[in-house]
């Protein structure tokens, strides 16, 4: 737990730099349109996820200490040059070893460090775990991250259940209009359209096989209203907004303690909606 706390502190510093850089870049491109602004924020979410994966992965720190351990343990190294050949001799405390070994290359040292990093240290019997504020931070981090991920998983399962209990709209005027709009965008993939009684607005679910959910009141809409709503949702599908929202929510669950991450995720949703509204307005003549 102590090591996790130290990793969280270091990770917080790294993600703060990424979030500040993303915020600055977001301000610089504020006049370039919502799609570019959402791309900037979603890219920073991916970088934040990559930092978390690297911070808690078993990969080693390929530093000099691992290279030295790969060559010799508990020994001092002396470098000798004979002609064009560089060798190292291990010198132990009372006596000098006569055998010289070839100096390892950078790649072999890195591989040795990799194998050492994958080895988990065995706990020493009757040795208490170090306590203090890093251990408390590690415990709070694991608890908060677990709650956030559980909330995200439960929400996804409920949304999937809602899709399963919805009604397929094949052969309806809405599905025909949706197919026509998809052909206008040169998209030949089939996007399923379904009706639900538990949503007040339309929504997109999934990214590999996307589904557009319509509320049961869609039958009272005019053709222009239906066209605007479907174009809005198609924009979310083509921009892969469901996927970007998914890894943004994962990032927010990991960095639940970071206010900048909450702000960036909220701005991401806003920019996605602005981009979809612009597409809907264009399809209906402004």
Are 193 and 174 contacting, i.e. CB atoms less than 8 angstroms apart?
Answer: yes
Q: pLDDT tens digits, residue range 99-123?
A: 444 444 545 555 565 556 545 455 5
pTM summary value: 0.70
Are 18 and 47 contacting, i.e. CB atoms less than 8 angstroms apart?
Answer: yes
Torsion from C-alpha of 7, 12, 13, 16, nearest 10 degrees? 160
What phi, psi does 79 have (nearest 5°)?
-95, 130
Q: pLDDT tens digits, residue range 167-188?
A: 998 888 888 888 888 888 767 5
Q: According to the model, what pLDDT value does residue 89 have?
A: 47
pLDDT at 151 over 90: yes
Q: According to the model, what pLDDT value does residue 18 have?
A: 92
Are 247 and 45 contacting, i.e. CB atoms less than 8 angstroms apart?
Answer: yes
Tell me the C-alpha distance between 117 and 55, whole Å. Answer: 13
**How much of the chain, in percent, has pLDDT values that exceed 70?**
70
Q: According to the model, what pLDDT value does residue 199 have?
A: 86
Pick the more confident residue, 111 or 273: 273
Lowest mean pLDDT of 5-14, 47-56, 251-260, name the range.
5-14
Task: Determine the 3-state secondary structure of 37 from DSSP.
Answer: helix
**DSSP secondary structure string, 213-224?**
EEEGGGGGS-HH
Spell 207-224 as b/e; 16+ CB within 10 A means b: eeebbbbbbeebeeeeee
pLDDT at 266 over 90: yes
Question: Model confidence at 20, in pLDDT bands (50, 70, 90)?
Answer: very high
**How much of the chain, in percent, has pLDDT values that exceed 90?**
34
Domain ranges of the chain: 1-58+131-286, 64-117
88's tokens: 């190292």
Pick the more confident residue, 55 or 101: 55
Pick the more confident residue, 285 or 63: 285
Q: According to the model, what pLDDT value does residue 132 have?
A: 66
Are 4 and 138 contacting, i.e. CB atoms less than 8 angstroms apart?
Answer: yes
pLDDT at 127 over 60: no
Q: According to the model, what pLDDT value does residue 64 have?
A: 40
Q: pLDDT tens digits, residue range 21-40?
A: 999 999 998 888 889 999 99
Q: pLDDT tens digits, residue range 59-94?
A: 555 444 444 444 444 444 445 444 555 555 444 444
Tell me the C-alpha distance between 66 and 89, whole Å. Answer: 18
Torsion from C-alpha of 178, 182, 185, 187, nearest 10 degrees? 170
Are 137 and 257 contacting, i.e. CB atoms less than 8 angstroms apart?
Answer: no
Question: Model confidence at 140, in pLDDT bands (50, 70, 90)?
Answer: confident
Tell me the C-alpha distance between 67 and 112, whole Å. Answer: 7
Measured in whole angstroms, the distance separating CA 152 from the mean position of its chain's CA atoms is 14
Beta pairing partners, 81: 86
Contacts of 45 (CB under 8 A, 6+ apart): 244, 247, 248, 251, 264, 265, 268
157's tokens: 């399962």
Q: According to the model, what pLDDT value does residue 172 have?
A: 87
Tell me the C-alpha distance between 187 and 185, whole Å. Answer: 5
Q: According to the model, what pLDDT value does residue 103 have?
A: 45
């Amino acid at each position: 737990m102590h090591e996790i706390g130290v990793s969280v502190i270091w990770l917080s510093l790294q993600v703060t730099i990424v979030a500040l850089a993303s915020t600055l870049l977001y301000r610089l491109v504020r006049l370039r349109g919502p799609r570019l602004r959402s791309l900037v924020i979603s890219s920073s979410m991916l970088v934040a996820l990559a930092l978390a994966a690297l911070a808690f992965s078993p990969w080693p720190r390929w530093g000099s200490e691992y290279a030295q351990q790969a060559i010799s343990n508990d020994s001092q190294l002396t470098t000798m040059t004979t002609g064009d050949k560089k060798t190292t001799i291990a010198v132990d405390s009372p006596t000098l070893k006569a055998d010289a070994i070839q100096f390892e290359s950078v790649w072999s040292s890195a591989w040795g460090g990799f194998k050492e990093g994958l080895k988990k240290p065995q706990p020493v019997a009757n040795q208490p775990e170090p306590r203090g504020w890093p251990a408390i931070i590690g415990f709070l981090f694991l608890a908060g991250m677990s709650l956030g991920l559980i909330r995200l998983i439960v929400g996804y399962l409920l949304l999937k259940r809602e899709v399963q209990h919805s009604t397929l709209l094949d052969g309806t005027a809405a599905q025909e209009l949706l197919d026509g709009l998809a052909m206008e965008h040169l998209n030949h993939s089939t996007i399923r359209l379904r009706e639900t009684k538990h949503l007040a607005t339309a929504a997109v679910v999934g990214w590999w096989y996307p589904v557009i959910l319509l509320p049961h009141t869609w039958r009272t809409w005019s053709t222009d209203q239906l066209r605007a709503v479907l174009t809005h949702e198609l924009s979310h599908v083509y921009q892969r907004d469901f996927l970007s929202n998914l890894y943004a929510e994962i990032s927010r669950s990991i960095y639940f303690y970071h206010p900048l991450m909450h702000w960036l995720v909220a701005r991401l949703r806003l920019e996605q909606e602005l981009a979809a509204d612009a597409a809907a307005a264009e399809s209906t003549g402004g």
